[in-house]
Amino acid sequence: MSDFYDKLEVRDPAERETDLLAALPKQLVHAQTATPAFAEILSGIDCAAINSREALARLPVTRKSQLLERQKALRASDPFGGFSATVRGPSMLRVFASPGTIYEPEGASRDYWRTARALHAAGFRGGELVHNSFSYHLTPAGSILESGAHALGCTVFPGGTGQTEQQLEAMAELKPDGYVGTPSFLRILLEKAAAANVTLPSLTKALLSGEAFPPSLRDWLAARGVIGMQCYATADLGLIAYETSAREGLVLDEGVLLEIVRPGTGDPVPEGEVGEVVVTTFNRDYPLVRFGTGDLSAVLPGHCPTGRTNTRIKGWLGRADQTTKVRGMFVHPGQVATVLKRFPEVARARLVIEGEMADDRMTLKIEAPVIADLTERMAESMRDATKLRCAIEHVAVGSLPNDGKVIEDARSYK
């Protein structure tokens, strides 16, 4: 595909970075002054001076669990926990509830969730009919994609979830140009269509999200005439990244500033290393700053072969919260990170929990030069941090996998 949603997609990377960092302090000041939550989180910080990634990395990460805790604490007075900068009325079209329960506002701006860009990259164009099988009740998924489709000038059939036969009937009669929803439900629809001898020749493309979209399913859809692309979006942040026809990673949305940090910390990792996806958005209604998604990914080198110049990520690689319980004590990735900061000579480490239930053993495997008393000092630091005994084991440099895992639970539960 040679055409782009707008000129922002093909900006010089240096120009994009300059634009993002110029907008950053204004957004941080807005978050600090317009929301009680960030007034507290960013208390004492001169947000107008945060104009570099290095300065941004010194701000605290706010994770979904913290957002939920604040919402629960303020349910009676503010169900958004002080994170929303807008109020009920014309500027807040809808309120959604995600599992937790976490409440999310939907503002009134055009393409509020910024998904038109992902739809365009997947081949959708104005005047087409989009069959939307994301949920339309409680959670925002249906609205997230519908708002983007409307911004493109598409018409939307709000199929929602379930009622497979009725949705299939609508597809056969309305002849949609494309589908948005989960990949598994699209497969169910196509399998039922084949079983009922129903043809869907108009359905040639799909934008998929909400679950894994393996190459095997991509090929299965293509064999049935449907080219499927995927996007990465959340109820809190909207679109984060999207797939292109090149199928080489996911390209970042133009409206986010992304960091990949070491799980359990707010420390950015080197390019290519797996870590937690942390996003700052420029949404004025719901201005989330250094929001930790809990998802693992990594930055890919180079640019998309389609000509889009924004950063690419590998896509979803797992969850960052690897907290586990050992001998009745919770052990967190942040505790391991705290210990590693005391030993800069350690290039990479992984805490492995082994044994059987009630016979747990912790071993911190480290890629580091053999230095006198290093293992003894690290074992003492781990005991101070976790209150548990921990063996230290040297391993060959480069032998620990680059998968974002800080803690590996290898115990047998048989």
CATH architecture of 7-319: 3-Layer(aba) Sandwich (3.40)
pLDDT tens by residue, 242-288: 999 999 999 999 999 999 999 888 999 999 999 999 999 999 999 99
pLDDT above 90 (res 181) = yes
pLDDT tens by residue, 143-160: 999 999 999 999 999 999
pLDDT above 70 (res 231) = yes
| Per-residue pLDDT, 187 | 94
pLDDT above 60 (res 413) = no
Residues 64, 99: Cα–Cα separation, whole Å: 11
pLDDT tens by residue, 101-128: 899 999 999 999 999 999 999 999 999 9
pTM: 0.84
Give the strands of the sheet with 407-409, arranged side by side: 391-394, 359-367, 348-356, 407-409
- pLDDT classification of 358: cutoffs 50, 70, 90: low
- Residues of the chain with pLDDT > 90, as a percent, come to 79
Least confident of 55-64, 164-173, 394-403: 394-403
| Per-residue pLDDT, 356 | 67
Tally of CA atoms within 13 A in the half-sphere of 383 that contains its CB: 10
Pairing of strands 155-158, 102-107: unpaired
**Mean pLDDT across the chain:** 93
Topology of domain 324-409, CATH = GMP Synthetase; Chain A, domain 3 (3.30.300)
pLDDT tens by residue, 289-311: 999 998 899 999 999 999 999 99
Residues 104, 86: Cα–Cα separation, whole Å: 11
Residues 364, 394: Cα–Cα separation, whole Å: 9
Start and end residues for every CATH 3.40.50.12780 domain found in the chain? 7-319
* Residues ≥6 apart with Cβ < 8 Å to 339: 364, 378, 381, 382, 385
Contact 158, 134 (CB under 8 A): no
Start and end residues for every CATH 3.30.300.30 domain found in the chain? 324-409
- pLDDT classification of 1: cutoffs 50, 70, 90: very low
- pLDDT classification of 170: cutoffs 50, 70, 90: very high
Least confident of 27-36, 232-241, 299-308, 323-332: 323-332
| Per-residue pLDDT, 328 | 64
Residues 345, 41: Cα–Cα separation, whole Å: 32
